[in-house]
C-alpha cells in the first residue's frame, strides 16, 4: 500500500510496484521566493508538485494557469523562470541546490521561442546554451 509522507511531502514513500522511495541527497530551491526542499536529481516539477505547487506558468493571451501537462518535455505547459532565465521546462530539468525558480507569466521574452528551447533540451542540450 502507498503512503504519503507525514511531514507534508506529497511524494509516495512506498509505491506498490516500484517499492520504497530510495534515499537521495537533499537540495533546496525557492519558488517565487518560497523555500522548497527537493530530492537531488529529481525534475523541478516533482519538487513543486510534492510541495503542493500546482501552477507554475500563465498563458500569454488568456492568463490561464498552467501546471504541466505532458511531463515529458513536449507541451510547454511547465515553462518556468530559473535563475532569471525563462522557458525552462520544469518537467525535464533537474533541481539544483540554490536554484531560484519562478512562475513564468506569458512569453519568456521578446525573443521567446519556446518550441526551439524545448527542442534543444529534447536533443540533449540541457543547459540551453545552444540558443
Residues that bind ligand FES (CB under 6 A): 68-71, 73-78, 89, 91
* CA 43 from centre of chain: 6
Q: Which is nearer to ligand FES, 24 or 70 (CB)?
A: 70
Determine phi and psi for 80, rounding to 5 degrees. -130, 170
CB of 127 to ligand FES, least distance (A): 17
CB of 3 to ligand FES, least distance (A): 26
CB of 66 to ligand FES, least distance (A): 8
Q: Which is nearer to ligand FES, 28 or 74 (CB)?
A: 74
d(CA 62, CA 126): 29
CB of 85 to ligand FES, least distance (A): 16
Q: Do the beta carbons of residue 91 and residue 72 sit within 8 Å? A: yes
Q: Which is nearer to ligand FES, 68 or 108 (CB)?
A: 68
Any idea what the Cα angle at residue 63 is, between residues 125 and 68, rounded to 5°?
Answer: 40
d(CA 122, CA 32): 26
Amino acid at each position: 500500500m502507498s503512503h504519503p509522507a507525514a511531514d507534508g511531502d506529497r511524494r509516495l514513500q512506498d509505491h506498490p510496484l516500484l517499492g520504497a522511495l530510495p534515499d537521495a541527497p537533499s537540495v533546496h530551491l525557492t519558488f517565487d521566493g518560497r523555500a522548497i526542499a527537493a530530492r537531488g536529481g529529481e525534475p523541478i516539477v516533482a519538487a513543486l508538485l510534492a510541495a503542493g505547487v500546482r501552477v507554475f506558468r500563465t498563458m500569454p493571451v488568456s492568463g490561464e494557469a498552467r501546471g504541466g501537462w505532458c511531463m515529458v518535455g513536449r507541451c510547454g505547459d511547465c515553462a518556468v523562470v530559473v535563475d532569471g532565465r525563462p522557458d525552462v521546462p520544469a518537467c525535464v530539468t533537474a533541481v539544483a541546490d540554490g536554484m531560484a525558480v519562478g512562475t513564468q507569466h506569458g512569453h519568456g521574452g521578446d525573443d521567446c521561442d519556446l518550441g526551439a528551447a524545448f527542442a534543444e533540451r529534447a536533443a540533449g542540450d540541457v543547459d540551453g546554451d545552444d540558443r
